[in-house]
Each structure stands twice: as C-alpha cells, then as structure tokens.
Amino acid sequence: MSRDLGESSDHIVAATIEVLGEVGLKGATTRAIASRAGVNEVTLFRHFGSKKLLVAHAIEALAERCSKEIIYTGNIEADLEHIITEYDSIIEDLGPAFSTVITEVARDPEMRPEFDGIQRIYENIGSILRRYQEDGLLRDEPIDSLLMAFGGPVVVRYLSPLFKGARERAPFDAHEHVQRFLHGRSAR
C-alpha cells in the first residue's frame, strides 16, 4: 500500500495523534482523523488501508525520528543526554495521545503486531546501554533494569498528571537526569 503522501502525511500523522489524545483508540474514527487532517476519508483508506495501519503509521513516524537519534559516539554523558532529550520530545509530541498509546494501543491485540516502532526505540536505547556496559562505563546488570531506570522517570512525568492531586509536570533537565542516572541520587 502506498504511503507516499509527502507533506500531507505530516498533517495526517499530527491529526491522528491529536484525535487519539482527545478520544482514545476506540473513539478515533477515520472520519474524525480525515476531517482534522483536511483530507478525504477515502484518501486515508487508499494510502493506509485501515484505521489500525493509520495509527501504526503515525506512531511509527514518531518512533522512527527517535530511533535515528539513538547513536553511540563513545561520550556516555553526551549520548545519554541526547537520547533522553529526544525520547522526552517524542513523548511530548504524542501529548495526550501518550496515555492512549500506553494504555490502549499497546494492549490491543489487533494493534500489537503493528506496534514495532516503540519496541525498536527500547531496543536501540538498550543496545547503547549495553555498549557502555561493554566499555565498562555502566554496571553489568540486566538491560531491562537499566532501561527502566533511564527512561522510566521520563515516562512517569507524562503519566503523573493523570494521578489524583498531581501537580503540573515539572520542567525536564536532561543533564540532571543523566547525572542522576549515572551517579545515583546521593547528595555527595
């Protein structure tokens, strides 16, 4: 199925993310997405085939951008700051759709096979962390533990407004985050 839509693809991705954030996966209709994107609903079906593939494409487009930014340079602090900044940016771009992606899309049996992009981000970050383990710059521990310690605080920042009594999201400081990840939270 052809997905070469040029600039209108960006509008469709943005519209899909916006509608997902407003009404969730089940409420996000192709009609609402097409209307938001300023295209005909038939255009969506012609290029994507189904709502499932359209949502997968929108998430994949953001994930691809992040995956391109995950590179090893040998400078652990610079690499991790760059990676976590891009990771935070992707979640920020998802906006309210982030909770939909986490709670609905990731658990939908029809969507799961189409949900490679986010998994690829974790695998790519994991490969960088593993490389720094091999370099002796990170402790030898399971990659899943490192991934949760590294990316988890960023994810929680975006989920915390969902909790009763939660305040507004605190500003993100990538440098401070990486320093705490690398050196712990001790006051020394």
The contacts of residue 110 (CB under 8 Å, 6+ apart) are: 52
Please give the pLDDT value at position 109: 78
Please give the pLDDT value at position 66: 77
Please give the pLDDT value at position 142: 94
The predicted-structure confidence for 161-177, as pLDDT tens digits, reads as follows 666 555 666 788 999 99
Name the DSSP class of 169: P
Q: Interhelix angle for 30-37 vs 41-48, to 10°?
A: 110
Please give the pLDDT value at position 164: 58
Please give the pLDDT value at position 176: 92
CA angle 35, 40, 41 (to 5 degrees): 80
Count Cβ atoms within 10 A of the Cβ of residue 117 and give its class: 0-12 exposed, 13-18 middle, 19 or more buried: buried
Cα–Cα dist 38/89, whole Å = 25
Please give the pLDDT value at position 1: 41
**Confidence (pTM):** 0.78
Please give the pLDDT value at position 63: 80
CB-CB neighbours of 4 under 10 Å:
6
The ranges of the chain with pLDDT < 50 are 1-4, 186
